[in-house]
Amino acid sequence: LDLPEEMEPRSRYVTGKFYLWKALQLAGGFLFGLAVFWLIPGLRDLSINGGVEGLKTAGLGLITLVSLPVVCIILALTLVGMPFAVVGIISLFVIAGFSKILVAEQVGQMVFAATGQDDSKPLTLLSGLVVVIVAINLPGIGGVISFILTLLGAGLLVQVILDYVSDLGD
By C-alpha distance, which of 107, 101, 81, 123 is closest to 33? Answer: 101
pLDDT of res. 146:
92
Distances (CA, A) of 25 to 49, 89, 118, 142: 27, 22, 26, 16
pLDDT of res. 7:
63
Query: Please, what are the averages of pLDDT over each run of 10 residues along the chain (170 residues)?
Result: 64 82 93 90 76 84 92 92 93 89 89 77 90 92 92 89 80
| Spacing of C-alpha 23 from chain mean position | 17
pLDDT of res. 72:
93
pLDDT of res. 86:
94
Q: Are 33 and 129 in contact (CB under 8 A)?
A: yes
| Spacing of C-alpha 64 from chain mean position | 14
pLDDT of res. 17:
87
